[in-house]
Amino acid sequence: MADGSCTDVTEEDCTTAGGAFEGDLTTCSPNPCPQPTGACCMADGSCLIDTSANCTGMGGAYEGDDTTCAPNPCPQPLGACCFGDGSCAEIPAASCTGAGGTFQGAATVCSPNPCPQPMGACCFITGTCTLTTPAGCTGAGGVFQGTSTVCTPNPCPQPTGACCSPEGLCSVDTSAACTSAGGTYQGDATTCSPNPCPQPNGACCFEDGTCFALPVSTCTASGGTYQGVGTTCSPNPCPNVVGACCFGDGTCSQQTSANCVGTGGSFQGDAVSCSPNPCPQPSGACCLPDNSCQILIQQSCLMQGGFYQGNSTACTPTLCEETTGACCQVSGVCEIRTEPNCIASGGVYQGDEAACTPNPCPQPMGGCCFPAGNCADLTTSQCTNFGGVFQGVNVMCVDVTCPQPMGACCFTDGICTVLTDSDCASMGGDYEGVNAPCSPNPCPQPVGACCFPNGSCAVNTAANCVNSGGMFDGAMFCSPNPCFQPSGACCLPSGNCSTLSILDCASNGGIFQGIDIPCAPNPCNGNAAACCFIDGTCVEEFPLDCFDAGGTWLGNSTVCSPNPCPQPTGACCTPDGMCMPDSAIACNALGGLYQGDDTPCTPDPCPEPTGACCL
């Protein structure tokens, strides 16, 4: 029969029933009739044309006689489909291939996830970078930088700590920047308060002219004047303190202790003055107006109108009858003596009856050191009057090295060191002036690129950069921007999602969804969220609907209650007649009268307040 069944009948009955007679004496066992065919669905979703019996025998599902395989009527099996971002979905093979995935086979599952995970740079708190998966990075305590990001160059923010300069100054910097600047890194997260840096010694001068090698802090705390890092006390750089120096003739001169002793004087002590004269006065013969002779000091002799004959002279019977005159000593002192006594004392006789007032004697010269470090050959009195320090009789400037004044010297790296003007210039520094201090540091600090976590860059000093939460790079500037740009999903006005940096997302009018947030699944087609309009109203819309309506979409999970949208402002007339720009809600809360959006206060739209007027 047409359905493939077989019945043993006569030829006439077979023909009448519409069958095909196989011949006399043929039998139905085995069945000689051709069997009908149809679509047979296999377990793997494939389709083939076969008989029902053969289909069942192969484990297939027979779809019926004369059914076809075009189109394929067979249910397609599900299996794990792997996508480029490492995600997995259980879908048919055709759907997987059409979506750009890789089918893992029928009946494969997504738990556990069989898909290879994308790699990228993972930053750790130590500043190290490792290539790993997002999950591996997060699990290890790192921050994933994005799929396909690399570790060369290292994109990770470097930790900072205290950096000690050779001068003992402390600044916060990275280990690499500290080492390149010649500093010593104290370790991650170390601070400069208190200063951990060893303080180098330098010459420290005290008021008495003594010198000790001390750190700058100890020197300053002890009342000394620090001469600079690496300065020594040999030779002594300190200004020598002067004091009264007494000579054998009773004269007094302001000199240093060394110069006083070197010229045969007796030093009376640091800062001891010559006024009044502390020196013991020598005595000698004094010829009085009545021609008598007494042994007196020169001052007493002169006060009595006598003529002093010189130190240690004796009263001989004829002494006061001899002619006297001014006698100039080598020291510049003038004495009234007889000519023989003058010559015997090593003096130069100026003539009979020559007077000592005014002093006719040439004054001895010597080097005079001034505070500015310069030297001039002057007399003792000239040196004192000009505010200098006399270096000694006949100790001339060619043989004198005057102490040089010191002050702050600024270098291009912002470091300050106390140096002399000449030393500062020879080292390429900028001298700030005599006695200018290094604390607080007067030197302009170098600037460079300061990179912030959102990828923005600002030119700033190292200290200001770190205090603002940035990472300083003194060798770079912000054009072009050297900062690592974190990226993530950006919802564009079109409703599409694109992986962009924070700055690029904003420049394209998009809404940044967060660092490392992927575009698959698309976060821009999620639930409705807050959409702000220019009039301050808020409606929860889908991104594309919000952009099409001219609104600003605030991002997934944002809501309109409370209203997050900026409110328009306009002129608000307060009860006292004042005008101030404010929103309508704020104006009403003040009891004011809102004049409308974007209305100005100039010219003043507010009516003058009125009140009772008693006539």
Q: What is the pLDDT of residues 18-53, one digit of tens each?
A: 888 888 778 888 888 888 899 999 887 889 999 888
- Residue 456 is predicted with a pLDDT of 82
Question: Are 569 and 583 within 8 A, CB to CB?
Answer: yes
- pLDDT(2) > 50: yes
In the structure, what pLDDT confidence band is assigned to residue 437 with cuts at 50, 70 and 90? Answer: confident
- Contact residues for 430 (Cβ-Cβ < 8 A; gap 6+): 409, 410, 411, 424, 443
The 8-class DSSP code of residue 294 comes to E
- Residue 56 is predicted with a pLDDT of 92
Task: Report the distance separating Cα 365 and Cα 426, nearest Å.
Answer: 34
- Residue 263 is predicted with a pLDDT of 81
Task: Report the distance separating Cα 165 and Cα 142, nearest Å.
Answer: 32
Mean pLDDT is highest, among 271-275, 356-360, 546-550, for 356-360
- pLDDT(61) > 80: yes
- Residue 454 is predicted with a pLDDT of 76
For residues 245-249, average pLDDT: 85
- Token couple for 29: 């066992």
In the structure, what pLDDT confidence band is assigned to residue 572 with cuts at 50, 70 and 90? Answer: very high
- pLDDT(573) > 90: yes
For residues 288-307, average pLDDT: 84
- pLDDT(319) > 90: no
In the structure, what pLDDT confidence band is assigned to residue 208 with cuts at 50, 70 and 90? Answer: low
- Token couple for 584: 């309508």
Tokens 């009860």, residue located: 575
Q: In the chain, what percentage of residues exceed pLDDT 70?
A: 97
Task: Report the distance separating Cα 500 and Cα 490, nearest Å.
Answer: 6
For residues 440-460, average pLDDT: 83
- Residue 501 is predicted with a pLDDT of 83
- Residue 599 is predicted with a pLDDT of 92
Task: Report the distance separating Cα 436 and Cα 228, nearest Å.
Answer: 12
Average pLDDT, the chain: 84
- pLDDT(130) > 50: yes
Q: In the chain, what percentage of residues exceed pLDDT 90?
A: 11
- Contact residues for 128 (Cβ-Cβ < 8 A; gap 6+): 156
pLDDT tens, 514-537? 777 788 777 776 667 888 998 889
Instruction: Return the percent helix, strand and coil in the chain, to nearest 5.
Output: 15, 30, 55
pLDDT tens, 455-509? 788 888 877 887 887 887 766 678 888 888 788 888 887 777 888 888 788 888 8
CA dihedral 222, 227, 231, 234 (to 10 degrees): -80
- pLDDT(538) > 90: yes
Any idea how long the chain is?
615
Q: Report domain extents, the chain.
A: 283-352, 487-553, 568-615
For residues 591-609, average pLDDT: 88
Q: Dihedral of CA 441/447/451/455: which sign? A: positive
Question: Are 117 and 134 within 8 A, CB to CB?
Answer: yes
In the structure, what pLDDT confidence band is assigned to residue 615 with cuts at 50, 70 and 90? Answer: very low
DSSP assignment of 321-346: GS-EEEEE-TTS-EEEEEHHHHHHTT
Q: Please name which of 62, 6, 72, 70 lies closest in space to residue 37, comparing C-alpha atoms.
A: 62
Kindly report the backbone phi and psi dihedral angles of residue 232, in degrees, each rounded to the nearest multiple of 5, phi listed first. -120, 170
- pLDDT(546) > 60: yes
Count Cβ atoms below 10 Å from residue 106 Cβ, excluding itself: 15
For residues 99-121, average pLDDT: 87
- pLDDT(336) > 90: no
- pLDDT(612) > 60: no
